[in-house]
A and B are shown apart, each in its own frame.
Chain A
Amino acid sequence: MKEITRRDFIKITSAGLIGAAISKPVFNFIPPFLQKDHTPPLESELTKSPTVCDICFWKCAGWAWKDKKGNIVKLTGNHLDPHSNGRLCPRGTGGLGAYYDTDRLKRPLIRVGKPGSQKFKEATWDEAFDYIVDKMKQIEAKYGREAMALFMHGTTGPHFEYLWEAYGSQTYAEPAIAQCLVSREVGFIATFGQGLGSPEPTDTRNTKCLVLIGNHIGENMHNGHVQEMSAAIDHGATIITVDPRFSTAAAHSKYWLPIKPGTDIALLLAWMHVIIYEDLYDKDYVQKNTYGFDYLKDHVKNFTPEWAATITTLDPNLIRKTAYEMAKAAPAVIIHPGRHTAWYGDDTQRERAIAILNALLGSWGRRGGFYLPEKVDLPKFPHPPFPEPRWSWRTITTDKFKYAIAGVTNVLIDHSLPEYDGPYKIKGWFVVATNLIQSIPDQQKTIRALQNQDLVVVVDILPTEITGYADVILPEATYLERYDLIRNNHHRTPNLALRAPAVEPKYETKPGWWIARELGIRLGLEKYYPWKTIEEVLDWQLRQVGTSLEEMLKVGVKHFDRKTPLYIPDGVNWPFPTNTGKIELYSTDLAAMGYDPMPVYKKHEDPPAGYLRLIYGRVPMHSFGRTINNPYLNELRSENHLWVHPKVAKLMGLENGQEVWLENQDGKVSSFAVKVRITERIRPDSVYLPHGFGQKSKLLHRAYGRGALDNELITKVNLDPITGSTGMRSNFVKILTSKPQKANS
């Protein structure tokens, strides 16, 4: 039995303390009067304003609480909010650390010296804008407006997407799509005619059986889902977790299937086989709603649990037993689609298999399966029509990836490289709230692309690694200091949520909407910005649906009536927006595009001798690399550990806490050491490294050099031929026990 004791915890935290003592200002935000009378203020002595958390994409609505001096003292959830149900996750609760972080970007910076020299001088906003506009005009004259690419993330993204469309470039990508969920969306669109969106409409709190495949709810703190999984545990739902690692979800599961990585499709096909050939599928539902059942039946004929067992290394009886559990619970069963699904390059097909299995069990549109989400029909603020660009992300993407539904960052990077000499050249990068060096695999390529640009602008809150490659850095205000567009995500009931500033922007930072508008006006796009402040836009929009900014400032979240049913009503012939109007077990779209119309298992590479498969994942107190420097969250987890099975540890003579380095199949070595954690919780053929640590920007004082960054070791990317999704799980590592020459200090 191995415990982390309080003493360890204190050790961990006191290490944080030493860091804090060096960068003393961390303590600034403990309101001084509290240090004297030691009594925390009552909520009745505080004032609150509505916010929407920006620490991750879940976008929980909450309240920012301020004391009499105007300091933000805490953040809590809004009880009206279906994303948070009044409870923020640890990252959201610690979100005030993002505001108080003294490492923040404070004022605009312009590069001095050679490109990539990483030397900057402080500038005024006017100087920064002048520099950018001048360069953008030069790029436009030489290559056209389309040559300015936009990479964006999060709630700041839409302000710049609007600017780009007004400017006349649709050369943009949201890295988070191809790196994460595009294959899942397309897999479900090809099956049900619609994707899942966010939050995924899984009716988890009402389910009787939840199947998680490589989806670690509880380590990913997708707030509403974590809460609903807990509710499902309360009422005795069966949880089945398929994961090469004994995840937190596995710890709460009735069944754990420690699958061999890369073989999930074989398992899914075997489950389909059992459910079809043992007559366990929802006959009425399948007959009424699906297309291609006979093709599918024939397709999975030979995919028995025994066949899958040899591939997945799982016990065939366990495969059968878990299929029975699903069938018993149906239709209140969820084979969860997951979210980060860019794994092996056949991800759309794996997601198709998940979608098909749900269809066979009749869970789509059913209580305890997937509900039918609805959102508010919120009109956009009127604007003149956007100019049509000569080419866009579509031009350069959909010839290769026929089912791509959004720009693929890797494709944009390819068009930014010096060796690209086609007609669709990218010569300027505008990078909004995304650290591409860390989030995109094959870092060297990204850096070469960056160095080939005539202009690189980065808009961010922290001096992340990519800011070092910028010509101009624009410091954005945090979510606690700004308005953004109304949150209008679908859910069980349509609802809107407002993010309003709790405080004025610190330093010389500015809200994203302001930065985009100012730049737009300087680019001669005044007609797209007939408003002065975003409050005008928000109030206009809100009034169209019968509320107002004034009301939203009081309530934070407002619900609206549904117009459509939450579940498919009995006896109704539900229209599915696919070619056949049915759930397509056999995909006519995929067939027409020349892809496999039904999922096929294809073998993926095994680790070469002496190598282990690199599995990455998340810790619940961080949002990837974005929060590692947050003073509160850094304290909870300041570095990652490499999970190693005891057998491997014994073989290599490794000890708990020992520092090691990693070298991947292409000879790439981790920059920093990582400590070993010997644990039974991982398969012996794999190692596990939580993502986001090992930050390389020295300006992130708490995060720099603590642990190893998985992304550095992901040099092999398997692009999904259907969507362009960037599969990152076919990378293998060797453990090095002494410091290699290539590593950093």
Chain B
Amino acid sequence: MDFLAQLATNFIGLFQAGGETFVGLVTGIVPLLIVLMTAVNSLIKIIGEERVEKAAKFSSKNFILRYTVLPVLAMFFLTNPMAYTFGRFVEEKHKAAFYDSAVSFCHPITGLFPHANPGELFVYLGISAGITTLGLPVGDLAIRYFIAGVLVILLRGIVTERIYAVMASKKANAGVK
């Protein structure tokens, strides 16, 4: 009987540790998250989609803006997954590159603006939790993740645009033969 009781204690203990972690996450992250998401959601509603679309149309022309400003605007205002609908503002041959660029920003943005992708927060939160455990401020990581993210999506956009162009021309040549 003692053995069974011990077993039960160990079994419960397994999940007690999980429960404590859960309470830590809920009290540590959720309140900030809710208020921040409410503020950003309000801002998005007040600015309105129309005005964002104007900026989106403008930034689709130039290749640097197309793979920096456009995806960032899309992710911030439309969030994952509706952000990819901004692909309609770019030319057909740039759509794959824009998607690659935009989707690659759906985690770097969450450090500062978690409303953009609340279902996948733990890519960032999982790692930043380690920084918190060490007692270091996470702001440094969040802002650097955002900046590095912008550089990465610019690179992704440019590289994918080139690869797409090469593949499309090969396919066109094959069609002629």
To the question of whether A and B form a pair in one complex, the answer is no
